[in-house]
Amino acid sequence: MRRWKPPIKDEDRVINDPEKSRKKTFDRAVNLLTFKQRSVEELRTRLLEKKWTNSEIVEDVIVKLSEYNYLDDEEYAYNLAASKLRTKFVGKRRLKQDLVRKKLDKATIDAALERAYEEVPESDLIEQAVEKRLRIKGMPETQNEQKNFFAYLMRQGFDYDLIRDQMEKFR
C-alpha cells in the first residue's frame, strides 16, 4: 500500500527543460496506464507526485491521452462496475462507494451503475449472494445467525427492501 505524501506545490517544482519534462510526464502516464486503467483524477494525482512536472504539463498530457482514447472516465467507470459485478455479488451502494474512491464524478458514477445494473439486475445478484452464503455457512437457524446474515447482505451494499424480501424466505 502506498503511503500518503503531502502534495507538492507548483512553486516548489523544478522544471529546467519543459520539453523534457513533458516527455517524461507523458511516458510516466502511459506506463501507469499500462499496469491498470485509471480515472483522469487518479492519473493526475499520480503524475503530480513528481517534482519534475507541474499542473500545466500534466493537463497537456491528460488532454493528449484523452485524444488518443487512453483516458475515458465514463468507460472506465462502467468497465470497473461491470468487472466487479462479474466477480462479486455486490449491491449498488457498495459499488458506488468503490467508484467514489476512484475519484470519479457523481454523474459518471450514476451512469456507469445504471448501465452495469441493466445487464445484471440487483435482484439476481442478491439471490446469488444468498446462495453462496448458504453454501458456506448453512441455513441461519437462530435469531443471531439471521441477524449476522442480514448484516452481511447490508455490508455487501444491497438495498434494505431486497434484503428483507430475501430474509422472508427463511421465516
The pLDDT assigned to 58 comes to: 94
Nearest to 60 by CA among 102, 29, 17, 105: 29
* Cell numbers standing for residue 152: 452481511
The pLDDT assigned to 112 comes to: 96
Spatial CB neighbours of 31, under 8 Å, sequence gap ≥ 6: none
Spatial distance between the Cα atoms of 102 and 53, rounded to a whole number of angstroms:
23
Spatial distance between the Cα atoms of 35 and 152, rounded to a whole number of angstroms:
32
The pLDDT assigned to 51 comes to: 85
Spatial distance between the Cα atoms of 125 and 66, rounded to a whole number of angstroms:
34
The pLDDT assigned to 4 comes to: 67
Q: Return per-residue pLDDT of the chain as tens, 171 residues.
A: 667 676 777 666 777 788 999 999 999 999 999 999 999 999 999 999 888 888 899 999 999 999 999 999 999 999 999 999 999 899 999 999 999 999 999 999 999 999 999 999 999 999 999 999 999 988 888 899 999 999 999 999 999 999 999 888 866
**Could you tell me the residue ranges of all domains in the chain?**
10-67, 73-119, 122-168
Nearest to 154 by CA among 146, 143, 163: 163
Directed axis angle between helix 40-47 and helix 18-35, to 10°? 130
Calculated CA dihedral for residues 71, 77, 80, 83, nearest 10 degrees: -120
